[in-house]
Amino acid sequence: MSLDSYVTLGRSGLRLSPITLGTMTFGEDWGWGSSAEDSAKILGDYVERGGNSIDTANSYTNGHSEKIIGDFLVARPELRDRLVLATKFFCNLYENDPNGGGPGRKAIVQQLEASLRRLGTDYIDLYWLHNFDPATPREETLRALDDQVRAGKIRYVGFSDVPAWATAEAATLARWHGWSPIIALQVQYSLLERTSEGELLPMAQAMGMGVMPWSPLHGGFLSGKYSSKSTAAVDTTRGRAPSDAELVVIDAVNAVAEELGVPSAQVALSWLRGRPGVSSIVIGARRIDQFETNLGALEVTLSEAHRAALDEVSAPKLNFPAENNRLLAPSLQFAGATVDGRPSTVLPLLHANSARY
């Protein structure tokens, strides 16, 4: 697989690369990250290799990430329509302004106009709600976004880091009213963070939303820098060392990587690329060599044995009722029969005296 082996995002007509270039590292405003020059090199390399999906947010490096991308595209106007350019709204860049962020109509309009200005474009391909506000009516947010779609300023709508129940409610409201649908989710998802498998991923698959995982290397923990044998402090945006439980998973990833002769990061990314519902993985890098290493994951194929081992060692404890439904429901429903490839068992308490009545 390569960057130009494009995938369809959810139940939509939007096609994008299997790896999306995440740009939270563009700009040094937060004390770490890539210079504008290095960011432009990463952008250029990504596009040259056939990549077409770029992800940013109004808040990344206080707007500088958007400005770097905008400067890159303004200097190369022929690229704009070939790319799927995505940004996010919600985060407030203006101190003490209660309407400077969030999902209200006033906030959406001003955030979008500011992002369009920084990006040097007149439309956004995929506009993401970046977080959740329980106070703002979902109808207000959805209608405001639909108005921007009708005005030609955005093309598609996505939700990032929003609870499953609120996303499902919003998707249903959009369908009822004929507003622009939610076509995709961004969720934190990796071998070290799989709890989205409880509610968010099943919801996305059932409602036709593509899934775009962020932090696929869990802040560098799955990059190969760590193991239980060597836990010396290294540069990490997470600001802490991995826990003992995380090191068990990290060691398993490192073992598969050693067996295959590839970097650990590529094993972690290849595992994620093969998970049900995943469309495109959002990958960031501060250096060009990190970026190129991550792209190499597209050439790595894990065996079923490798996948099974990684699945087992990283299996999450899911919130109720997801764990109960996964373990118990097939047996309650099918009583020993195998349906759709899923075996079930006979529960003795239900069937020991089933012929009595």
At 18-67, the pLDDT tens digits run: 999 999 999 988 888 899 999 999 999 999 999 999 999 999 999 999 99
**Per-residue model confidence (pLDDT) at position 31:** 86
- Rounded to 5°, the CA angle 228-231-233 comes to 160
Burial track 284-323 (b if 16+ CB lie within 10 A, e otherwise): bbbeeebbebbbebbebebeeebeebbeeebeeebeeebe
Per the structure, the complete domain to which residue 196 belongs is given by 7-317
**Per-residue model confidence (pLDDT) at position 353:** 59
pLDDT digits (tens, 9 = 90+) for 159-182: 999 999 999 999 999 999 999 999
55 and 38 within one domain? yes
pLDDT surpassing 80 at residue 238 = no
354 and 266 within one domain? no
Task: Name the residue among 85, 106, 100 with its Cα closest to residue 17.
Answer: 85
357 and 270 within one domain? no
pLDDT digits (tens, 9 = 90+) for 202-212: 999 999 999 99
**Per-residue model confidence (pLDDT) at position 3:** 94
Catalytic residue check, 156: no
**Per-residue model confidence (pLDDT) at position 350:** 66
| Residue 73 domain flag | yes
Residue 232: band (very low, low, confident or very high) from pLDDT cuts 50, 70, 90 = low
351 and 298 within one domain? no
**Per-residue model confidence (pLDDT) at position 234:** 57
**Per-residue model confidence (pLDDT) at position 352:** 61
**Per-residue model confidence (pLDDT) at position 354:** 59
**Per-residue model confidence (pLDDT) at position 355:** 56
340 and 201 within one domain? no
| H/E stretch holding 127 | strand 124-129
Instruction: Name the residue with higher pLDDT: 95 or 352.
Output: 95
**Which pTM does this prediction carry?**
0.91
Residues 60, 127, 156, 189: which is the catalytic one?
Answer: 60
Q: What is the mean pLDDT of residues 273-282?
A: 96
Place of tokens 């775009």: 212
**Per-residue model confidence (pLDDT) at position 322:** 83
| Residue 251 domain flag | yes
Look up residue 334 and give its two tokens: 């099918």
Look up residue 42 and give its two tokens: 């990463």
**Per-residue model confidence (pLDDT) at position 357:** 58
Look up residue 229 and give its two tokens: 């044998």
Rounded Cα distance between 294 and 283, Å, is 8
| Residue 1 domain flag | no
The mean predicted confidence, pLDDT, of the chain is 92
Residue 113: band (very low, low, confident or very high) from pLDDT cuts 50, 70, 90 = very high
Q: What CA–CA distances, in Å, run from 158 to 249, 277, 312?
A: 31, 15, 31
349 and 212 within one domain? no
343 and 247 within one domain? no
pLDDT surpassing 90 at residue 335 = no
- The CATH number covering residue 272 comes to 3.20.20.100
Place of tokens 């109509």: 105
**Per-residue model confidence (pLDDT) at position 251:** 97
**Per-residue model confidence (pLDDT) at position 356:** 59
Q: Side chain identity at 335, as an amino acid letter?
A: A
pLDDT digits (tens, 9 = 90+) for 292-330: 999 999 999 999 999 999 999 999 988 888 888 877 888
| Residue 211 domain flag | yes
Residues in the chain: 357
pLDDT surpassing 70 at residue 74 = yes
327 and 246 within one domain? no
**Per-residue model confidence (pLDDT) at position 337:** 87
354 and 270 within one domain? no
| Residue 127 domain flag | yes
Strand partners, 182: 157
**Per-residue model confidence (pLDDT) at position 340:** 85
Instruction: Give yes or no for a cis peptide into 103 (omega within 30° of 0).
Output: no
Q: Side chain identity at 77, as an amino acid letter?
A: P
229 and 158 within one domain? yes
79 and 29 within one domain? yes
| Domains: count for the chain | 2
| Residue 2 domain flag | no
Q: CB–CB of 111/148 below 8 Å? A: no
334 and 275 within one domain? no
Q: Side chain identity at 195, as an amino acid letter?
A: T
Q: Can you say whether residue 260 is alpha, beta or left, with left for phi > 0 and alpha for psi between -120 and 50 degrees?
A: alpha
